[in-house]
Structure 1
């Protein structure tokens, strides 16, 4: 039985206060993961005790089990690939399919702009400007955006490294990190445990951890010093890619503007390369 089904089956036996908790849960289940029982009570105007008794009333051992069940049933297990197909199928019968798809991308980028926390964005940019070395890691569906992040950031500042699981010695890469390093973890649903574990190792070496992910409830929240969620767990990672790349470009631009001296140095290095030997005119 799912958590939603448990609540619905017990709803008639709940007190009025507990029913209020139930209604809020069915509307905003993810809020129960990022907030304590006391905070949930404050949000909906009830006591912490009422929230905890609600958990008992629907057959759970307490609030911790409620949070774990939300993560397991609602957040991590949802198939984003299924959503990807169904959302495209709805557009398939209409004219100019490509135009509809690109319009969806534009809308998502606009929605993402509104959700980004400007203070956290600025903190991330400052960290990247101050860092001696920057390491970036993303696996499976997150590898391509991580690769682009490393490439584009590496153009405007030096000492940017992409960690590749297939060719790199992870332990060797981690050993070079210290308090002057920044580790950027790119992790989208389905979240790879290895990305999280590498971030943990980097944190133990003293590196600042910046998490770029799709939800404030993603596993990286437990290790990141700065979490930059694009707030779209319900969508496929494929759908999120245009907004993600745009967001990465904004970070790189922010580093360029904040570190003008470093960018000018980097530009001089590129200008000294004999481009005629590398590129067609």
Structure 2
């Protein structure tokens, strides 16, 4: 479906049954909570049967309730404030034990990422990086941890790697000012998506660079700009972004590139080990 799900619900309200109108009104007024409810819980919340909820999803044109729930989640991911995220996560966690719940959710995100990531885009990204004149890596806020991790290892393999990092939009553009044809920029962003990252990637695109987006959804503004999109599932744990699956994807990208650069990488580490020995970088333990 191309229309916003809330718009569809509002436009079709007059056609719904009494039970379906209860569901529709709850979603319109509390979409942030409804998006993370099971069909059973949503039904109990508005006093209708689970089967009524499932039929409601079909009425909207979705292939089952999970498809409708996914559409709701993708629609709101960039709309929730930090306070709303805390409220939603508290409702989801309830009385469950936090440690296993969060770790099981992370494991599920990795599984879904493996199933949904486009292998051709992954291979094309590896090829583009290997042939790039210069590689730019961009991630702000929590995504900076991923861009820094990626940049650390790429600097071991390439001479021309720039990890752009700043809280200022003007400084960000100063760091990517000379990007152009033959270059690759890797932008990393998850909800709430960074406008700075999106604008920088658009600038790179306009300059003729190859644009790679690492994000969570085809509806992400990064995906609309990117030549190649690597999608990794993220989730909310309170106000915290769960970036385990994106980190796993970034790690796979590093390994794939390193296998093509194995000789250069071996040479780099041989030089480093000689330097470490010569300058006694590692302190010897006391005898």
Q: How does 1:212-231 map to 2 (within 5 A)?
A: 212-231=214-233
Q: How does 1:167-246 map to 2 (within 5 A)?
A: 169-232=171-234, 235=236, 238=240, 240-246=242-248
Gaps of at least 5 residues in structure 2 are: 18-56
For 1:72 and 1:102, locate their aligned partners in 2 and report how far apart those are by CA, in whole Å.
22
Q: How many residues of Structure 1 are paired with residues of Structure 2 in the alignment? A: 234
Q: Tell me which moved more, 260-269 or 188-197.
A: 260-269
Say what the alpha-carbon RMSD is for the aligned residues: 3.4
For 1:9 and 1:173, locate their aligned partners in 2 and report how far apart those are by CA, in whole Å.
50
Q: Which residue of 2 aligns with 1:9?
A: 13
Judged with a 3 Å threshold, the aligned counterparts in structure 2 of structure 1 residues 239 and 107 are, in CA distance, closer, same or farther, namely farther
Q: CA deviation at 1:7?
A: 4.3
Contact 2:113 2:231 in 1 (8 A): no
Residue 96 of structure 2: which of 85, 91, 96 is its match? 91
Cα deviation digits, residues 52-84 of structure 1 (max 9, x gap): xxxxxxxxxxxxxxxxxx899545324583344
Residue 281 of structure 2: which of 266, 269, 278 is its match? 278
Cα deviation digits, residues 112-165 of structure 1 (max 9, x gap): 211211111111111111112111111112121111121122223332211011
Contact 2:8 2:60 in 1 (8 A): no
Judged with a 3 Å threshold, the aligned counterparts in structure 2 of structure 1 residues 261 and 73 are, in CA distance, closer, same or farther, namely closer
Judged with a 3 Å threshold, the aligned counterparts in structure 2 of structure 1 residues 221 and 29 are, in CA distance, closer, same or farther, namely farther
Judged with a 3 Å threshold, the aligned counterparts in structure 2 of structure 1 residues 171 and 137 are, in CA distance, closer, same or farther, namely same
Equivalent position SS for 1:23: coil
Q: How does 1:1-281 map to 2 (within 5 A)?
A: 2-3=6-7, 5-12=9-16, 22-24=60-62, 28=67, 74-78=76-80, 81-82=85-86, 83-92=88-97, 97-166=98-167, 169-232=171-234, 235=236, 238=240, 240-274=242-276, 277-281=280-284
For 1:174 and 1:265, locate their aligned partners in 2 and report how far apart those are by CA, in whole Å.
29
For 1:87 and 1:149, locate their aligned partners in 2 and report how far apart those are by CA, in whole Å.
32
Judged with a 3 Å threshold, the aligned counterparts in structure 2 of structure 1 residues 203 and 71 are, in CA distance, closer, same or farther, namely farther
